[in-house]
Structure 1
Amino acid sequence: MRSICVIGGSRYFGKRLISRLLAAGDRVTVVNRGSSAPPDGVLHLVADRNDESSLRNALGDRTFDVVVDQVCYTPRQADIARRVFDGRTGRYVLTSTVEVYEYEDSDAPVREDAVDPHTVAVDLDAPWDDPDHREAHYGEGKRQAEAVLAAAPGFPWVSVRTAHVLGGADDFTGRVEHYATRMREGRAIRVPVGNRPATYIHVEEIADFLFWTAGQEFTGPVNANSRGPLVTAEICEAVGRVSGGRAEFAAVEVGAYSPFSFARSYGMDNARAARLGFSFSHTSDWLERAVAETLGALEDGK
């Protein structure tokens, strides 16, 4: 029986990961601020992960085979976690993001070595506690969080660079709903001039991948994405097949775009994960189902 600690994990693919761990017979500890109750069968520790003393006191002398950190967004949070968990976990798995590649504009899918955390500058004094700063620098915060873990001598870290996630009745982002509403009302969907593709993954598949990663021994960054990048029009076509309507697009040079519309490519190469033994699906296997899951839940809630 493995001992697994999950930091966060109260919603979306985090709660699916916890369900998989419990089903596998793992001993699961969940650490959060106490605002969400974890499922039955886990040990619940209440702590503020931004407060080193609070986190240490909650953990006591506990050790873990694996820690999966679902809610680390800044280098400051990573710095606290590194100090607290150093020597008390066999592996530390950070849920990272495709946004770490925000400066790597390439038509070819990017590999993990395009962003080497050992070369990323870290600024612990930036206003990371300011929610507006954190949101505006989401990719940078994740990139620097990876760098903090990479710089720790002998710290066994993994960063799962997660593609944009779709699917699930509990999709809280409102992004698919945005498309459906505009298509239903005949309003234009705003996309950048030269709209570019991005990589995606189904909510169940990223939970599968995190569960699989917890049982492996590799370290360092790894891309997690389904095969088959998508552009905005392909997602809208799936929305139309599920809920009706036709997408009208307005190409804009300035201002806000609709979700999942990008002026630069966010394509990732998942060959490393494949070499390590994980086989990803193709987006065509699940895209329409993902849209139906989300829109069906919205309709049921009306």
Structure 2
Amino acid sequence: MPPGRLGTMRLLVLGGTEFVGRAVVEAALDRGWEVTVFHRGRHAPPAGVTSLIGDRTTGPDGLAALATGSWDVVVDTWSAAPSAVRDAARLLTDRAGRYAYVSSRSVYAWPAAAGLAEDGPLVEGSPDDGDVPYAEAKRGGELAATAAFGADRTLLVRAGLILGPYENVGRLPWWLGRIARGGSVIAPGPSSLPIQYVDARDLAEWTLDAVSAGLSGPYNLISPPGHTTMGELLHACVRATGAGAELRWTAPEALVAAGVAPWSELPVWLPPGETYDAIHRADVSRAVAAGLHCRPVEETVADTWAWLESIGGVAPRRPDRPEVGLSPEREAEVRAALGTE
């Protein structure tokens, strides 16, 4: 399908008003692309787009706004029932050039081994599934997109941990909020522990570059091993907030013994072991070879803090995701268990 007028790419984003979808929209607008967003109308889309309202959760009838129109690229960030991806992809297959589905590294059979590449074993999934667990939902979405567009026109963006402005899960916003309050902060060690994540804006830029280049198939999309550490992330939070917080680095064994739930109560952090290997030791060589660039952690943290301040300091949270981080009461309990003040 030829590009739009004067060579401008025509992009349809299914979603496009929150976090990753919004990052994709803003990146495309910066490139001068013609952008259409299909969304439920719960959040205002960025200025400069064509807005179509619908609800994929209601079945094919909810896609009526997509009955006409053609695009060079579709980007889909859906993470619930695969049947919603199936219905949209089928509807668009003859009116769009390529389909990029933002999937997840959760599609790999658990536990994903350290250094696992895109040819690793996968969970079971079906494009016809309704409500299923996250991993199966993302795998079903991959299958749905590929069935409609074919392997040569489908890009599967298997993202890892995603951070950055507009985050609606709450991981980096929690750390920034806690450190901004100052005082002694439980810092999960070791500080030198490498972590992997991808800034939503870097994911967006890579995805648009990839579809422009005609790439297809699966790509693990997360920062290369060694991009940053837990210490660099939290020290960046201290610098960004300007708070008088004191990071009290605590050994992982002590935190586990105190009953702390890694990842959920202390976001991003996992103690060394099987789960850490699965989340923070991915092979991303294929994406790097295809142009993945990850901005410094300092920039991701500072920009996220600036965004939080611009909206009053309270980050939005997806209703389908649990709260993350230690509440003040829970933090006091952990301190007591650790024997610290």
TM-score w.r.t. the length of structure 1 is 0.79
Residue 264 in structure 1 maps to residue 260 in structure 2? no
Shift of 1:186: 2.8
Corresponding position of 2:221? 224
Shift of 1:80: 1.7
Shift of 1:217: 1.1
Which runs of no fewer than 5 residues in structure 1 stay unpaired? Answer: 129-136
Q: Give the SS at the match of 1:144.
A: helix
Task: State the one-letter code of the partner of 1:113.
Answer: D
Q: Which has the higher contact order (CA 8 A, sep 6+)?
A: 1
Distance 1:142 1:87, change over 3 A: same
Residue 178 in structure 1 maps to residue 174 in structure 2? yes
Corresponding position of 1:113? 119
Shift of 1:33: 1.0
Mapped to 2, the partners of 1:95 and 1:185 lie a distance apart of: 39
Corresponding position of 1:251? 255
Of 136, 139, 148, 2:135 maps to 139
Shift of 1:255: 5.8
Task: State the one-letter code of the partner of 1:214.
Answer: V
Distance 1:26 1:63, change over 3 A: same
Distance 1:76 1:182, change over 3 A: same
Mapped to 2, the partners of 1:143 and 1:231 lie a distance apart of: 29
Measured against aligned partners, the alpha-carbon deviations of 1:30-64 in whole angstroms (never above 9, x if no partner) come to 10112223233322111112234334421123222
Measured against aligned partners, the alpha-carbon deviations of 1:97-134 in whole angstroms (never above 9, x if no partner) come to 233336143232x2111145xx7343845544xxxxxx
Shift of 1:93: 0.5
Mapped to 1, the partners of 2:53 and 2:61 lie a distance apart of: 9
Is the Cα contact below 8 Å between 1:182 and 1:189 reproduced in 2? Answer: no
Corresponding position of 1:54? 61
Mapped to 1, the partners of 2:107 and 2:79 lie a distance apart of: 14
Mapped to 2, the partners of 1:51 and 1:268 lie a distance apart of: 36
Corresponding position of 1:132? none
Corresponding position of 1:18? 25
Corresponding position of 2:302? 292
Residue 164 in structure 1 maps to residue 161 in structure 2? yes
Distance 1:298 1:72, change over 3 A: closer
Mapped to 2, the partners of 1:214 and 1:102 lie a distance apart of: 27
Shift of 1:185: 4.2
Instruction: Compare CA radii of gyration and give the structure with the larger one.
Output: 2
Is the Cα contact below 8 Å between 1:190 and 1:256 reproduced in 2? Answer: no
Mapped to 2, the partners of 1:165 and 1:154 lie a distance apart of: 27
Shift of 1:280: 1.9
Residue 210 in structure 1 maps to residue 207 in structure 2? yes
Q: Give the SS at the match of 2:90.
A: helix
Is the Cα contact below 8 Å between 1:50 and 1:80 reproduced in 2? Answer: no
Distance 1:182 1:24, change over 3 A: closer
Shift of 1:212: 1.1
Q: How many pairs were matched up?
A: 284
Task: State the one-letter code of the partner of 1:3.
Answer: R
Distance 1:90 1:55, change over 3 A: farther
Q: Give the SS at the match of 1:252.
A: helix
In percent, how many aligned pairs have the same letter?
Answer: 28
Q: Over aligned residues, Cα RMSD in angstroms?
A: 3.1
Task: State the one-letter code of the partner of 2:299.
Answer: R
Task: State the one-letter code of the partner of 1:79.
Answer: R
Residue 31 in structure 1 maps to residue 27 in structure 2? no
Which runs of no fewer than 5 residues in structure 2 stay unpaired? Answer: 314-341
Task: State the one-letter code of the partner of 2:256.
Answer: V
Q: Give the SS at the match of 1:50.
A: helix
Is the Cα contact below 8 Å between 2:126 and 2:144 reproduced in 1? Answer: yes
Distance 1:234 1:139, change over 3 A: farther
Q: Give the SS at the match of 1:158.
A: strand
Residue 280 in structure 1 maps to residue 293 in structure 2? yes
Shift of 1:153: 7.3
Distance 1:139 1:42, change over 3 A: same
Q: Which moved more, 1:243-252 or 1:213-222?
A: 243-252
Q: Give the SS at the match of 1:222.
A: strand
